[in-house]
Amino acid sequence: MSEFREHPRRWAVSDPDRPAIVLAGSGRVVTYGELDRRANQAAHLFRKLGLNRGDHVAMLIENHPRFLEIAWAAQNAGLYYTPISWRFRPEEIAFILGDCGANVLLYTQQQAELVQSLSRQLPEMTYIAVDHTVPGHLDYEREIAAQPSTPIADESRGSDMLYSSGSTGRPKGIKQALPNLAVDGLSAMFRVYT
């Protein structure tokens, strides 16, 4: 195993009890060890769902404790991941889901009513309810609990695909080529020029 010098797993390995997230309000601490285990489980879930490097997941998740582990899982599985603003109108969200080619949408209870409308428009999408249960949708907690907490065998660097509101009336996505790097490789964003 590499040293993970440029990856958050560095602390999960060397100092697993180090706080990664402290939740405002409750003060609950999520350690790097816990974050890494749960992200690994979510990455295994993505593979179980048939997602491979270059595939796409989307998240309709407000500021929520599960957001970072899902993004980290997608990043480690070589997936594109798109966080979608819950402030967008349903037709804008449906457009983004189609435009980015997402196969899976993860969403919170706060977004359940919105997703109910979307699921009628996009019935082929796999829907994962993050903090609640919905008949016909996967239950995130139940699904990841059944997955190993070790890294997936084929980890590779994924990337976000972010959308703006667009200047032409349609949201605009920015899709970068996936870097051909291990998860702990230094991102080109941090390249030092001499």
Q: What confidence tens digit (pLDDT) does each residue in 109-157 have?
A: 999 999 998 988 899 999 999 999 999 999 999 999 999 999 999 999 8
Give the pLDDT score at 187.
Answer: 52
CA quadruple 96, 102, 104, 106: dihedral sign: negative
pLDDT for the residue numbered 173 = 85
Looking at residue 77, its pLDDT comes to 96
Query: What integer pLDDT is reported at residue 16 of this predicted model?
Result: 87
Q: HSE (CB half, 13 Å, CA atoms) of 34?
A: 13
- What per-residue confidence (pLDDT) applies to 189? 44
d(CA 74, CA 39): 8
CA distances in angstroms from 127 to 10, 79, 116, 155, 186, listed in the order given: 32, 17, 10, 23, 33
Contact 40, 152 (CB under 8 A): yes
What would the two tokens of residue 94 be? 């449906």
d(CA 70, CA 74): 6
Measured CA to CA, the distance from residue 158 to residue 114 in angstroms comes to: 27
Q: Are 61 and 70 in contact (CB under 8 A)?
A: yes
Which residues in the chain show pLDDT less than 70?
A: 1-7, 165-167, 181-182, 184-194
